[in-house]
Amino acid sequence: MFRRYLSTMVALALVGIISAGCTKHARRNRYLARADRDFQAERYDRAEIEYLAVFKVAPMDPAAVSKLGLLYSIEGKMPQAHQFLKKAVELHQIGRASCRERA
């Protein structure tokens, strides 16, 4: 009886751990898709909220950082645009360096 209970608990724990990672990635994709739709439709206030929501799930996501920099630039918020675009360039360089290391 105890062995069956233990195996059930271990199985549930594994499912919980695996699904937590999938949920986080799915939420990132969902926020990013909504933000991109709002950005394309020039609903910049809504797009900003969604891009910032991406950071809650995936801090310093390169796609969200670069789009937020572009969004702030379009809105004339130059200090914020500079900050995000600078970070986007840094993240891009880090990504390129890690690709070279793998090759």
Question: What digits encode the pLDDT tens for the residues 72-103?
Answer: 999 999 999 999 999 999 988 876 665 556 65
Element (H, E) at 61: none
What's the CATH code, domain 2-102?
1.25.40.10
How far apart (Å, rounded) are the C-alpha atoms in residues 2 and 26? 36
How far apart (Å, rounded) are the C-alpha atoms in residues 22 and 39? 25
- The answer on pLDDT for 38 being more than 60 is yes
Read off the pLDDT of residues 14-26 as tens digits, 9 standing for 90 and up.
555 555 556 888 9
77: left (phi over 0), alpha (psi -120 to 50) or beta: beta
Element (H, E) at 5: helix 2-40
Token reading at 13: 């724990």
- The answer on pLDDT for 44 being more than 90 is yes
- The answer on pLDDT for 12 being more than 80 is no
Mean pLDDT of 1-14: 60
Predicted local confidence at residue 3, as pLDDT:
64
Token reading at 80: 């914020």
Closest Cα to residue 45, out of 9, 77, 71?
Answer: 71
